[in-house]
């Protein structure tokens, strides 16, 4: 999937999203949010989460709403990143994905590196937290 073609899309409202790998971090784009266009020209890799469905905006209002939702998703991940310890950030991002109602198998298939890049921790920290949450 390519997002740096300049086309703006919207993640559908069902249980899905994208993890966008950028140079030094990753971003999660959830349901209803804008993706592509000028926002993601620096996207290096795309990881679909759930059964991805992208839509084309049909109106200016729909585009504006999608931009606002993208901003909200960014703020949510930023709040998680502001946790003090790496373990807290790792635990919170995993819990948050469960809270988004993604299936357990979907969450388990996401690479440790993806979660790590979302909240600024090492993949090893994600691995440790995942194993402690499974107990």
If you search the block for the tokens 């890049």, which residue do you land on? 117
Q: Which domain holds residue 56?
A: 8-133
Give Cβ neighbours of residue 79 (< 8 Å, ≥ 6 apart): none
Give percent of the chain above pLDDT 90: 77
Query: Which residue did the predictor score with more confidence, 117 or 42?
Result: 117
Burial of 34 (0-12, 13-18, 19+ CB in 10 A): buried
Number of domains in the chain: 1
Separation of alpha carbons 113 and 121, rounded Å: 9
* Mean residue pLDDT across the chain: 92
Judged by DSSP in three states, 52 sits in coil
Does residue 1 form part of some domain?
A: no
In a domain, 2, yes or no: no
135 pLDDT tier (thresholds 50, 70, 90):
very low
- Rounded to two decimals, the pTM is 0.91
Residue 2 pLDDT: 63
Is position 27 within any domain?
Answer: yes
9 near 34, Cβ under 8 Å? yes
pLDDT at residue 112 tops 50: yes
């Amino acid at each position: 999937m390519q997002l740096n073609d300049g086309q703006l899309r919207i993640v559908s409202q069902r249980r899905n999203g994208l993890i966008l790998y950028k140079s030094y971090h990753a971003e999660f784009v959830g349901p209803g949010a804008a993706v592509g266009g000028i926002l993601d020209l620096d996207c290096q890799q795309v990881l679909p989460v759930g059964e991805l469905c992208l839509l084309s905006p049909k109106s200016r209002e729909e585009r504006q709403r999608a931009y606002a939702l993208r901003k909200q998703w960014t703020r949510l991940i930023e709040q998680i990143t502001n946790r003090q310890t790496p373990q807290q950030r790792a635990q919170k991002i995993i819990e948050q994905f469960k809270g988004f109602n993604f299936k357990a198998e979907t969450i388990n298939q996401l690479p440790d590196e993806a979660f790590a890049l979302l909240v600024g921790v090492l993949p090893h920290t994600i691995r440790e937290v995942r194993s402690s949450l499974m107990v």
